[in-house]
Amino acid sequence: MLKNLPIAAFLLAMASPAFAGSGLVEPTLKMQGKTTPPRVAITLDACMGKTDFRILDTLVGEKIPATIFVTARWLKHNPQALGVLMSHPDLFEIENHGENHVPAVDKPVLIYGIAAAGSEAAVEQEVEGGRLAIVAATGNQPHWFRGATAKYTQSSMATINHLGERVAGYSINGDGGSLLGAGMTAKHIASAKDGDVVIAHINQPTHEAGEGVVRGLLALKARGVTFTRLDDPAFHSPSN
pLDDT value at position 163? 98
* CA 115 to chain CA centroid, nearest Å: 20
Counts of helices then strands in the chain (DSSP H, E): 7, 12
pLDDT value at position 234? 59
Q: Work out the mean pLDDT of the chain and round it to a whole number.
A: 89
- Average pLDDT (168-172) is 96
* CA 107 to chain CA centroid, nearest Å: 23
The least confident of 35-39, 74-78, 90-94 is: 35-39
Q: What is the pTM of this model?
A: 0.89
pLDDT value at position 235? 58
pLDDT value at position 18? 43
Please, are residues 123 and 158 in contact by the beta-carbon 8 Å criterion? no
pLDDT value at position 33? 72
Query: End-to-end distance of the chain based on CA atoms, in angstroms?
Result: 20
38 has a pLDDT exceeding 50: yes
Tell me the domains of the chain and their CATH numbers.
Answer: 24-230 (3.20.20.370)
At 198, which helix (H) or strand (E)? strand 197-201
Neighbours of 49 (CB within 10 A): 17
pLDDT digits (tens, 9 = 90+) for 103-123: 999 999 999 999 999 999 999
The least confident of 5-14, 42-51, 147-156 is: 5-14
Strand partners, 25: 152
Tell me the residue length of the chain: 240
